[in-house]
Amino acid sequence: MLKPAGVRNRSLAEARTAGRWRAVVEGGRVRRAITVTTLAPGMIAVRLEGPPALLERMGLQVPAAPQAARAAKLLAWISLDPRRFSGSVVQGEALLDPCAAPAGGNRAGTCVRINGGYFNYRQRACSAQPEPRPIGPLNTSGGRRQPALPVPSAFAGDYHQMMFADGSSFASAPLLAEGGEPVFGIKAAGNPMYRLPPDFCFERGDLVPPGVLWHAHDANPRAAISLPSSAGSGRIRLVAAPMGDRSCADSGWSLTAFSAVMARLDRQQSPPNVSLNLDGGESVALLAWVGGRPLLDVRQTLQPRQVGNLIEFHDGPPQRSPRMVRCVKLET
The tens digit of pLDDT for each residue in 224-242 reads: 999 888 766 789 999 999 9
User: From the centroid of its chain, how far is CA 159?
Assistant: 15
What per-residue confidence (pLDDT) applies to 302?
Answer: 86
Q: Where are the domains of the chain?
A: 12-329
pTM here is 0.86
The tens digit of pLDDT for each residue in 151-189 reads: 999 999 999 999 888 889 999 999 999 999 999 988 998
* Euclidean distance between the first and the last CA atom of the chain, given in angstroms as a whole number: 41
Average of per-residue pLDDT across 318-322:
45
pLDDT band for position 19 (cuts 50, 70, 90): low
For residues 159 and 103, the answer to whether their CB atoms sit within 8 Å is no
Q: Is the pLDDT of residue 22 over 50?
A: yes
**What is the per-residue DSSP string for 76-123?**
EEEEE-TTTEEEEEEEEEEEE-TTSPPTTGGG--EEEEEE-S-B-GGG
The tens digit of pLDDT for each residue in 31-51 reads: 677 889 999 999 999 998 877
